[in-house]
Structures are given as C-alpha cells and as structure tokens.
Amino acid sequence: MRITIFLLTVLIASQNLVAQDKKQITMNDLWKNYTFRVKDIPGFNAMKDGNRYTQMDREGKRMLIRVYNLATGSQIQTLFDNSKQKFKDSTLNVESYTFSKDEKKMLLLTDGESIYRHSAVHHVYIFDIASGKISLLDDDKVLHPSFSPDGSKVAYVKNNNLYYKSLAFNAAVQITSDGEKNKIINGNCDWVYEEEFAFTQAYQWSGNSKYIAYYRFDESKVPEYSMTKYTGLYPDQYTYKYPKAGEPNSEIMIRIFEPATGWYTTAKTGKEKDQYIPRIKWDDYTGKLCVYRLNRLQNHLELLLTDPKNGNADVIYREQNKCYININDEITFLPDGHSMVFSSEGGGYAHLYNWDWQTSKLIDLTQGNYDVDALVGVDELRQMVYYTSTESSSMERKLYVTNLTGTFKTCLTPESGMHSITPCAGYNFFLDRYSRLDKVPVIYLRNASGTIIRTLEDNKALEKKMKEYALGKIQFKNIAGAHEMLNGWMITPPDFDSNKKYPVLMYQYSGPGSQEVADRFPVGNFFWHQMLAEKGYIVFCVDGTGTGARGEAFRKKTYLQLGKYESDDQIAAAQNLGKLPYVDKDRIGIWGWSYGGFMSSTCILKGNDVFKAAIAVAPVTNWRYYDNIYTERYMRTPQENQQGYDDNAPEKMAARLKGRFLFIHGTADDNVHFQNSAMLTTALVNAGKEFESEYYPDKAHGISGGNTRYQLYSRMTEFILENL
C-alpha cells in the first residue's frame, strides 16, 4: 500500500514538473500574436465542372486567385495576380470574389466597410478572365453585387436604390429611385431583417435572367433609435430604424422588374401588412417566384408561388405551430415543376420531406428522434438527397445520403465528431471540415462514397504549437439540471488534483436553438478558458433547456418565458457542481455574452446564494428593449405577455444582488443597445447595490477593433482573479 502511494506521489510530481516546463498562455498569445489561429481555406470556391476549385493565396502583399485540381491538389493556372493585373496602375487588395455562372468573369470586392454585423459596402471591379480587362462597377462603394445568370449584367444596391449595369453597353440602369435613408429601402434589408432573418441581399435574379425580384421596405412608421458616436469635438448622433418588441415594422412589398421592357409587377401577398416575408426564392423549373409569407406571431407560414408577369400567386404549402416556426433556406424545387424537398420540425424533430403540391403527397425522407441539421443538397440527376444530422448523437453531425423516396440511407462520414459539409458541383466531391472536442480541425476532400481523397488542411502547426503549452484536459461531463440531465464540457487545470478543491467559472450562451456543448474544436473562448485553467480554475459549460439539437419540445419549452428554465438549469448545474469533491461550492461564478450575458445577469440575481461572481458582456436586461422579430418569436408582444417579460428581466431583479457583478457594453451596439446596461445600472443604484461596469465608446456588439479585445479580456481576467 505504501509503495503504491509512493509511486502515485512520484507520478503526480513528475506530471507537475512536465506542466511547469511548458509555456503559459498570455494575453499576447490570444489578442496580439494570435498564436492559436485555426487555419481554413481562404476563398475556396468549387468550380462548375465539379473537378476544380479556386482559392485565394497570399504571398506577402501579393494576392493570387489560383485554380487547383480537386482530386490531386495540383495547381492548374493562376486566374488573377494583383501584382500584375491592376486597375489604372492601382493594386487591388481583393477581399472576396464571385464568378459569373459561365466562369468567364469575376467580381472582385475591395475596401470593405461594415454597415451592420452582416452587411458591408465595397468598391467592386469586373474582371474579364480571358482578356485580363478590369473595370470599375460604380464610382461609389456598393452593396450586394451579383451577375445575372447569363453573365450580361451586374445588379447592385446604392443609396437604398437598386441598379443593374449592362456589361455590353457599359451602362448603369437605375431600377428604383425612391430610396431614402430611414424611409425607403430597395434591394437591401432593413436592420431587423438582416439581424433576425439572416440575409442582407434583398433581391434575386431569376434563373433565366429575365427578372429581378426585390424587396421594398417602407420604414416610415418604424421608431428610430439614436446612438452617440464620440468621434469629434461635438459627438455625432447615428439614427436608424429599430423596431423593439411590440413596435411597428416596415411595410414590405415584393416587386418584380423585367429589364428588357422596364416593366414592374408587385407580388400579391395579401391584404395583411403586419406580416413578414422572410425569404423569396425562384423556382427555375416553373419560372415562378416563391414568396414566404409569415404572420407576425411567426406560427403560420405559407409559400406563395407567384407569376412574375402579373403577381398572382397560389399557396403551395402551409404550416402552423403552437409556438413558432423557424425559417431556413432548406427548400429545393425539383424538375417536375410541382414538388420540392424541404425541412420542417412539424413532427417534433427537424426532418426532410418531399412534398408534391399538385397531388398533396408528402414523403418522409428522414425519420427518428433526432434533428436534421442541414440540407446539404439535392443531386437531381441521381435523385439523391444529402444532409447532416444528429442521428448518432446530439453533439455530433454526420453526412448522410438518402433518395427522393426515403427508402434507403447511408452515412458517408462514420467518424465521430463534427462534420461541416460543403458540396462541390455535381456532388462528386464534398469538402468536410471535421473536428472533435480535443482534435484540431482537419479539412478533407471526400468523394460521393464518403472516401477521403486527400487532406486540404490538417492544422498540424496548431497541433504542434498547442503541445508547447500547459493545457488542461477538456472532457464531456453530463450534469443534472433542474428537471433532466444536461450535456456539458469541463476544462480542468493542467496539474489537476482530485483531492483539492477548485473554484469554477461557468460559461454559457443558452439562447433558443443554440449549442455550446458539441464534439467540435474549438469550443467557445477555448484558449482564454485554458488560460484561466492554468491559473487554477475549472471551467464548465452546460447547455440547458431551450438549446438546440435535442428536438422541438426541449427547445420550445422556454416559449413565453425566456430566461426562466434556462436560469433554473444553470443554477441547478452550479449546485450539483458544488457537490463534487474537487469543487469549492462557495467559489462558483458564471459569465456570458449577449444572450449569455442576459443569462449570467439573471443567474447572479436569481441564484444569489449559489454564484459568488458574474460577468455579463452586452447583456439584454429586459426583452422590452430588444427587437421585435427575435423577441416576439419567443415571447409574443409585451402587450400580450407582460408577466413573461417582467418576471425574467434582470432589470426587475436588481434588489436581489449579493455577489460581485461586472457588466460590459459597447456604446455603439446597434444590436443589444447600451440602453440595456444603462437601465440595469439605474435599477442597481436605486436598489443600493455595489457593482462594477465597463463601457467601450463607439464599439458595436462584438466589442472589437485595435487593442479592444486585449483590454476587454484583461479586464475580465482581472475581475475573475480578484473576485472568484
């Protein structure tokens, strides 16, 4: 027995010496040197023949777009070299590019300037590959440039108006003229559509290039929000339209323009104006436009197949839900002209279906108590449907293939973990970004049988670099929540000793349908959390009620009560962590960003006997202050659900604060307004509570740029070391 104890002591001591010999993560590693950067394939674009791809390669200041053989990786040719191909002797620093459908021309985007989180204006150049000629699309920076399918025109948005340029005549045509800031938008989304329906280009060419369908937003009745920009002696006021919960939305028209004749048609979307059009999509087999019509409660969806000549429409699909319907892009129209493959969770889990609206025949393509994560694509020639799902585990994604009748199914990526799939034209090859919780991402090229043809990026440099550092062990660990078992991961200190007690910092996001606990690398804020583990903290993350990949019932349980069940789970998880022999139950903290900041704020107040400290970055503090599309989807309006809004608002719980609390916000946050933190400050002051706060002038929701992230994470680290 003594010999065993002696050997164990020697083993632990030797492990500690090994850990001491390794490097410690520093803030410079994280936010200045970017030591742990994960490599991807910049500018990867599979070409239409399905056998080649293009990629952006940088050699110092030189930027090249090269063509490679997909199967072998051998270089075939250089399409663009900014050291040789210039515009009026000016070198173009190309940030991104797109091809025309025939791959004879390219759009080169430079000088990007962000508008909101997902939109940006660029100087755009048209590059003719054969001649090497480069021309400027427009003298000004523009939004959403795109070739017509026949390659003869380029459409774009400028000053809230939609244009197209005829390449044959080198002439621009202004399609709309009523665009006006904070009033009328043509071809681009308003703020709330961009943020919550996840698209920005609000126009689409028809497949035959005869029409452009576009959104017209009338923002006139939407209330304005102003933010101060501290940029000069007298600060500027930035004002934009932001509809908070219960407030009016833009009125939307879908218009269809025919360039050949200059003729306009308006899609007939019904008399109701207080509704959403979250998507439009051309059915190239019928030549008609599919318009998604969603009611304001977001629980009744209709698909309208619209004639571009007169705007008349037929309803080809309806879906209703007792809570809400999630909008996605997972619809593929089929060549017969009267059926489609689409995704729905009407059966309790997200699954794929083949729907024939002419015969009203519905075929289940996927079945079971698991969620289909994404429709990867439909191979119409072979009549195969490719998709990723959680069938093997809610924490994994694998690629599967079935047929259009759902009569067989094959898994093409048997390896456990996370597979993010990009199909190549023709579905002969797939790009597979693969990782596991403790394995760096590898990018594989697979064939249609799932066989790995070659490795495009293995991130071996990162793997080698990580071995130089004293990293803690990360592992999955299930834990009991308030009502059921929950998925979690845990990082322990590099010299972890189960006979000691450690403080715990919990991290979470917790928003509806989100997932932080998955078998992928890296998990959220992984290397900063590793730095804290090196300093003696256990870091724990748990996905509670309302998060994704566990079916509709689990996710929608939070309906009308955002924050209630999520915080119950985090508090219960913290209490159960405190029962572990190596956890100091009196030193448990929690932090999060955005929705996660809302949750950490709620937890430090509602769970004031459980959490010693909390950090909330850019938190929602009352859902009345947030936008209506997101908030009403889960809460309905404040007028309908006053108690749901008030019972779970950190602003209303301020008097319950006991522990140490730091909340952080950017003053130019166009998403979760600084108002949230300002109102929480007022509530805490009125309640006589002590707290800490940090604000970042002119910084948006991501709180980044220059030295900002370095300072932000230094501040949070300092707070944790002093208070936990």
Q: From the CB of residue 390, how many other CB atoms can be counted at a distance below 10 Å?
A: 24
Select which of 190, 371, 373, 669 is catalytic: 669
- Select from 265, 348, 382 the least CA-distant residue to 313: 265
The helix or strand, by DSSP H or E, that contains position 147, with its residue range, turns out to be strand 143-147
Phi-psi region of 241 (alpha: psi -120 to 50; beta: other; left: phi over 0): beta
Annotated catalytic, 89? no
Cβ–Cβ under 8 Å, residues 55 and 68: yes
Q: Where are the beta strands (DSSP E) in 230-299?
A: 236-241, 251-258, 263-266, 275-276, 280-283, 288-295
Residue given tokens 């600060």 in the structure block:
235
How far is the CA of 706 from the CAs of 703, 709, 710, in angstroms? 10, 8, 9
Q: Cα(89)–Cα(111) distance, rounded to whole angstroms? A: 17
Contacting residues for 521 by C-beta, under 8 A, at least 6 apart: 435, 436, 437, 438, 439, 440, 441
Cβ–Cβ under 8 Å, residues 353 and 363: yes
Select which of 206, 389, 594, 601 is catalytic: 594
| Beta pairing partners, 377 | 386
Task: Calculate the CA 222 to chain-centre distance.
Answer: 26
The edge-to-edge listing of strands for the beta sheet with 331-333 is 331-333, 339-344, 351-356, 361-364
Annotated catalytic, 567? no
How far is the CA of 675 from the CAs of 195, 617, 679, in angstroms? 18, 13, 6
Task: Calculate the CA 286 to chain-centre distance.
Answer: 32
Q: Cα(370)–Cα(348) distance, rounded to whole angstroms? A: 9
Q: Cα(626)–Cα(673) distance, rounded to whole angstroms? A: 8
Q: Cα(412)–Cα(399) distance, rounded to whole angstroms? A: 5
Q: Cα(219)–Cα(568) distance, rounded to whole angstroms? A: 39
Q: Cα(109)–Cα(119) distance, rounded to whole angstroms? A: 13
DSSP-derived letter for residue 90 is B
Q: Please state the three-class secondary structure of 359-398 as a single string.
A: CCEEEECCCCCCCEEEEEEEECCCCEEEEEECCCCCCCEE
- Select from 441, 467, 465 the least CA-distant residue to 455: 441
The helix or strand, by DSSP H or E, that contains position 403, with its residue range, turns out to be strand 398-403
Angle in degrees, CA 251, 257, 261, rounded to 5: 150
Contacting residues for 643 by C-beta, under 8 A, at least 6 apart: none
Q: Cα(442)–Cα(438) distance, rounded to whole angstroms? A: 12
Annotated catalytic, 701? yes
Looking at the annotation, which residues are catalytic?
Answer: 594, 669, 701
